Amino acid sequence: MSKLVELAKVLRSKNAGPLYLTLDIMFDEQQAYERVKNSGALSKKLISRLYHTGEENISIIDYPAARSIKITMPRKVISGSIGDTDIYGAQQHAPLLDVEIE
């Protein structure tokens, strides 16, 4: 078992506009990318649990051209609204760091 953060070259979050959060997991080796994809670990079910949002809100897109997986979901709190913890949405990747990959 490995942790996702050990396998990924880039593991980041950012706003995609003020209403959405997008997470990118990028690999610099094809083998690591395939391993994570094939493990099925990054499912809507997992993301729904980690980010406390409905599965119907989540999009997970494979992007082989950059050996990447992109996960997008609506922000619970719109950027800059009262109670927002992260205006840019740039530090919301923590829940993904220790995801176990076979």
Q: Which residues bind another protein (CB under 8 A)?
A: 10, 14-20, 22, 24, 26, 28, 50-52, 57, 59, 61, 63, 65-68, 70, 72, 74-76, 78-88, 91-92, 94-95, 97-98
Cβ of residue 68: shortest distance to another protein, in angstroms?
Answer: 6
What is the identity of the amino acid at 3?
Answer: K
- Taking the CA atoms of 26, 67, 40 and 32 in sequence, report the sign of the dihedral they define: negative
Cβ of residue 17: shortest distance to another protein, in angstroms?
Answer: 7
Pairing of strands 68-74, 20-26: antiparallel
Cβ of residue 32: shortest distance to another protein, in angstroms?
Answer: 14
Rg of the chain, C-alpha, whole Å: 13
Q: Specify the residue, 9 or 40, whose C-beta has the smaller distance to another protein.
A: 9
3-state secondary structure of 70: strand
Q: Rounded distance, CA 38 to CA 36, Å?
A: 6
Cβ of residue 102: shortest distance to another protein, in angstroms?
Answer: 19
